[in-house]
């Protein structure tokens, strides 16, 4: 291993120490890559801040903001601290498979591109796999990114050359929920991405997820619409996919009325999906995941009639180890 890291991983956090510890553990477990980790404590309460400071090690630096600057600013702050060629970002509630970064660096170098992404799964404690999101092909991303954010798992996914990240101005600090989508569009204007064939990110679903703040998301969607309308030949952005995403998040959280309202907002352009969603909010059973990773017990009706999926061994191992709940152990 060289003394200069190949990749710096930036992890913004605030008051979620237990989730953060598992996230950091999977980041530090990356194989075949020289890395440094910068955790940006963006205004945690003092008890949490003290626990976060104890994570410091030879490969991990903690930066502390006494008051929150916002997640986009925290990511930029961590990237400014980096000296490596590549920078990657991971939210403090997500997990990585051990080969994520090495695969992305190899894919980017083969394609001579400045950024690369992988696939992801959405999971809840159990583990229960709600959605498998294979990486889209780069030509599909080029064609459709202005209409919808195709990159699975948001900011926890992409690896980018630090020089390219700085050249496009980093994350827009006026945005919080959709700053990743905006950055991908700016990176796309500099050149196409590369993709690995793996599922490298496990995206955790929990009540504190950003998708449960629909007002903020929809305000930022207006910004994305106006800022990138030229890539759609002046055509306005269809908000229906965002409404459907918000609705499903509400439904998983058991909030049927706001879920129904969000589904109805998607009726104009996605009538079939929206009306099916409204009917789901009326059903007494909770929503079922799209996938399970093991045979469901007959006594649990929630997981009947769902698709069994065989995930890659690295993802299965990751979920088996971490998805039962947070662990306090962090490797040094």
- What Rg, from alpha-carbon coordinates, does the chain have? 20
Indicate if 101 and 187 belong to the same structural domain: yes
Q: Strand, helix or coil at 302?
A: helix
Contact between 49 and 41 (Cβ < 8 Å) = yes
Indicate if 35 and 161 belong to the same structural domain: yes
Last residue of a domain, one of 205, 232, 262: 205
Q: What is the token pair recorded at 141? A: 């991303």
Indicate if 194 and 224 belong to the same structural domain: no
- Residue 120 φ/ψ, nearest 5 degrees: -155, 165
pLDDT digits 0-9 by tens, 102-131: 999 999 999 999 999 999 999 888 788 888
Indicate if 66 and 33 belong to the same structural domain: yes
Residue 108, in any domain of the structure: yes
What is the C-alpha to C-alpha distance for residues 86 and 183, in angstroms, rounded to an integer?
16
- What is the torsional sign of CA 156, 157, 159, 160? negative
Number of independent structural domains in the chain: 2
Q: Tell me how crowded residue 197 is: count the other CB atoms within 10 A of its CB.
A: 12
Q: Tell me how crowded residue 161 is: count the other CB atoms within 10 A of its CB.
A: 19
Indicate if 86 and 18 belong to the same structural domain: yes
Range with the poorest average pLDDT among 56-65, 137-146, 288-297: 288-297
Q: How far apart are the first and last CA of the chain?
A: 16
Q: Strand, helix or coil at 203?
A: strand
- Structural domain for 263, as ranges: 210-282
60-65 and 35-42 strand pairing: parallel
Residue 303, in any domain of the structure: no
**Taking Cα atoms as reference points, which of 176, 209, 216, 184 lies closest to residue 92?**
209
Indicate if 42 and 18 belong to the same structural domain: yes
Residue 302, in any domain of the structure: no
Contact between 28 and 98 (Cβ < 8 Å) = no
Residue 295, in any domain of the structure: no
Residue 287, in any domain of the structure: no
Reported pTM: 0.89
Last residue of a domain, one of 205, 222, 253: 205
pLDDT digits 0-9 by tens, 177-215: 999 999 999 999 999 999 999 999 999 987 665 556 888
Indicate if 134 and 68 belong to the same structural domain: yes
Indicate if 128 and 277 belong to the same structural domain: no
Residue 249, in any domain of the structure: yes
Under the banding of pLDDT at 50, 70 and 90, the label for residue 28 is very high
Whether the pLDDT of residue 43 is over 60: the answer is yes
Last residue of a domain, one of 178, 205, 232: 205
Residue 96, in any domain of the structure: yes
Cβ-proximal residues to 104 (8 Å cutoff; 6+ apart), any chain: 88, 116, 117, 118, 159, 194, 196, 200
Q: The domain that contains 45 carries what CATH number?
A: 3.90.550.10
Q: Residue 234 — left, alpha, or beta (φ > 0 → left; ψ -120 to 50 → alpha)?
A: left
Query: Among 2-16, 114-128, 274-288, which range has the highest average pLDDT?
Result: 114-128
Contact between 237 and 221 (Cβ < 8 Å) = yes
Q: Strand, helix or coil at 291?
A: strand
């Amino acid at each position: 291993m060289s003394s200069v890291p190949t990749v710096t991983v930036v992890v913004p956090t605030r008051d979620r120490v237990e989730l953060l510890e598992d996230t950091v553990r999977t980041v530090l477990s990356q194989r075949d890559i020289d890395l440094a980790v910068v955790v940006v404590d963006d205004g945690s309460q003092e008890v949490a801040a003290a626990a976060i400071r104890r994570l410091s090690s030879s490969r991990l630096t903690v930066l502390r903001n006494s008051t929150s600057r916002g997640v986009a600013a925290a990511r930029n702050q961590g990237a400014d601290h980096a000296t490596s060629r590549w920078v990657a970002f991971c939210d403090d509630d997500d997990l990585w498979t051990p080969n994520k970064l090495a695969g992305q660096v190899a894919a980017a170098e083969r394609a001579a591109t400045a950024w690369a992404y992988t696939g992801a799964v959405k999971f809840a404690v159990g583990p229960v796999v709600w959605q498998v999101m294979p990486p889209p092909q780069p030509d599909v991303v080029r064609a459709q990114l202005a209409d919808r954010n195709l990159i699975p798992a948001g900011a926890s996914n992409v690896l980018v050359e630090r020089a390219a990240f700085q050249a496009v101005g980093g994350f827009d600090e006026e945005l919080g929920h959709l700053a990743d989508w905006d950055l991908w569009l700016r990176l796309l204007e500099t050149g196409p991405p590369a993709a690995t064939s793996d599922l490298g990110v496990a995206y955790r679903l929990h009540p504190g997820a950003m998708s449960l703040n629909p007002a903020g998301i929809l305000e930022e969607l207006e910004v994305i619409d106006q800022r990138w309308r030229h890539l759609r030949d002046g055509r306005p952005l269809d908000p229906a996919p965002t409404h459907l995403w918000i609705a499903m998040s509400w439904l998983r959280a058991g909030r049927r009325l706001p879920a129904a309202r969000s589904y109805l907002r998607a009726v104009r352009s996605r009538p079939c999906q929206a009306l099916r969603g409204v009917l789901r909010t009326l059903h007494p059973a909770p929503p079922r995941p799209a996938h399970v990773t093991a045979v469901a017990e007959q006594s649990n009706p929630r997981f009947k009639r769902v698709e069994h999926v065989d995930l890659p061994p690295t993802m299965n191992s990751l979920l088996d180890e971490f998805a039962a709940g947070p662990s306090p152990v962090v490797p040094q």
